[in-house]
Homo-oligomer: A and B are copies of this chain.
Amino acid sequence: MQLSPSLSALVEALRCLPGIGPKSAQRIAFHLLERDRSGGTQLGQSLLNAMDKIGHCESCRTFSETPVCDICSNIKRQDTGLLCVVESPSDVLAIEQTGQYQGLYFVLMGHLSPLDGIGPNEIGMDVLERTLANGNINEVILATNPTVEGEATAHFIGEMCHQHNVTASRIAHGMPVGGELELVDGMTLMHAFSGRKAI
C-alpha cells in the first residue's frame, strides 16, 4: 500500500527530527492525524514562524528575534564587564538557570574543528575580536565544554584575550557535586587534584 502523497511527505519530513527513524515518523504522523490535529497544525505554524523569525543576536550570536538579544541589551549586565564564552544557546540556558552569573555571553555556535572545516571565522571570532577591542570587557570566562575541541577553542580565545589585554579565565574542572570518587574518570580526578584549594 502506498501512503497518500501528503502523508508520505509528512513522514519523510518528520525524519529531520533528531533520533526519529522511518517507523517512529510513521507512528508520529498517525498519532497527530488520529488524535491531535489541532496540535499538529499548531506545531506546523510554530515551526514556520520560528524558522522565519528567529535569527542571531548581532552582539553575542545566540538565537534572538530582535537584532540584539535581551541579555546583550541589559545595561546592568553590560556594567559587570564580564563575558562568558559558551558553545551553544542551550549552555546559556543552563548557566542562566543557576541564577548566579550576571554578566554577558558570547555564543560560538560550535567549536574549532579544522577537520570539519570549522575555523575561527565560523565560530564568530571576528565578532568577538570587535567586542574585545571596544574595551568594555574586563574578564572573559571560557566556559566551552571540557572536550579536546572545547579546550582547543578555549586556548585560542585565551590567546586573543591576551593580545587585547583582557583577563581570561577557564571554568574549574573537578569532581561534580554529589559524584563519587570511585566512579569518576582519571582525567577528572587529576584535574580535581591539580586544582585543589586551601581551606
Contacts and interface: CB of A to CB of B under 8 A. Distances in A.
Given A6-B49, A65-B5, A13 B42 contact: yes
A164 interface: no
A18 interface: yes
Interface in A65-121: 65-66, 69-71, 88-90, 92-93, 96-97, 109
A1 B42 contact: no
B6 A70 contact: no
B9 A49 contact: yes
Nearest to A40: B51
The secondary structure that dominates the A interface is helix
A29 interface: yes
A130 interface: no
A54 interface: yes
B41 A51 contact: yes
A34 interface: yes
A155 interface: no
Nearest to A31: B18
A41 B48 contact: yes
Question: Which 3 A-B residue pairs are closest in the complex by CB-CB distance?
Answer: A16-B39, A44-B47, A1-B96
Interface of A: 1-7, 9-10, 12-14, 16-18, 26-34, 36-37, 39-54, 63-66, 69-71, 88-90, 92-93, 96-97, 109
27 contacts: A2-B70, A3-B93, A4-B54, A5-B65, A6-B49, A6-B54, A7-B50, A7-B54, A9-B50, A13-B43, A13-B46, A14-B46, A16-B32, A17-B17, A17-B31, A18-B28, A26-B93, A33-B50, A33-B63, A34-B88, A37-B51, A41-B51, A43-B47, A44-B44, A44-B46, A44-B47, A44-B48
